[in-house]
C-alpha cells in the first residue's frame, strides 16, 4: 500500500490536479463530484458549500473515496479511501485552493450567504498507479 508521503503520490497531490470524490447516497448509490484538494497534517482536505449533495452524504455516512488523476497523464493516479471529518477553516481554505487551482487570491464564485466547509479525509487505503 502506498502512503501520502511517497514521492509520486505527494507530487500528484501538490499539483493542481482535479479529483473525483465519491460518497454514498441515502439509497446506497454512489455520488461523484469533481473537487479541488490540498494536504494537511497527513490528511487530504477538500472544500464545498454546506447544503450540497456530497457534504450532506458525509454528514450521514463519513466514508469517502478520492481519485486524483494526473492531468498530464490520466493513466497515473492515486486512489485514497478513508473516513472523513469536518475541519475548521472552510472560508480560508477555499481561498487557498483558489490560489492553487486558478491563481486567484480569493475564490471568485462565492454565493451570497454561502457557508464554506472543509473536510479532512484520513486515509485507510492509498493506492498509486502509473501505467506505462
Alpha carbons 25 and 56: distance in angstroms, whole number: 9
Per DSSP, the chain holds a count of helices (H) and strands (E) of 3, 7
pLDDT by residue (tens digit) across 60-84?
999 999 999 999 999 999 999 999 9
Domain-wise residue ranges, the chain: 7-130
Closest CA to 72 of 35, 13, 17: 17
Alpha carbons 4 and 9: distance in angstroms, whole number: 6
Average pLDDT, the chain: 97
CATH classification number, 7-130, choose in 2.30.110.10, 2.60.40.1150, 2.30.30.140, 3.30.110.70: 2.30.110.10
pLDDT by residue (tens digit) across 34-48?
999 999 999 999 999
The sign of the dihedral angle between the CA atoms of 6, 7, 11, 14 is positive
Alpha carbons 119 and 55: distance in angstroms, whole number: 9
Amino acid at each position: 500500500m502506498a502512503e501520502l508521503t511517497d514521492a509520486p503520490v505527494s507530487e500528484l497531490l501538490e499539483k493542481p490536479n482535479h479529483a473525483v470524490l465519491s460518497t454514498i447516497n441515502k439509497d446506497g448509490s454512489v455520488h461523484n463530484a469533481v473537487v479541488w484538494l490540498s494536504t494537511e497534517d497527513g490528511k487530504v482536505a477538500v472544500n464545498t458549500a454546506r447544503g450540497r449533495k456530497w457534504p450532506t452524504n458525509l454528514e450521514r455516512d463519513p466514508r469517502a473515496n478520492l481519485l486524483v488523476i494526473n492531468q498530464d497523464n490520466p493513466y497515473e493516479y492515486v486512489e485514497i479511501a478513508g473516513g472523513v471529518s469536518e475541519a475548521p477553516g472552510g472560508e480560508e481554505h477555499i481561498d487557498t485552493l483558489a490560489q492553487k487551482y486558478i491563481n486567484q487570491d480569493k475564490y471568485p464564485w462565492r454565493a451570497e450567504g454561502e457557508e464554506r466547509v472543509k473536510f479532512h479525509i484520513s486515509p485507510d487505503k492509498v493506492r498509486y498507479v502509473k501505467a506505462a
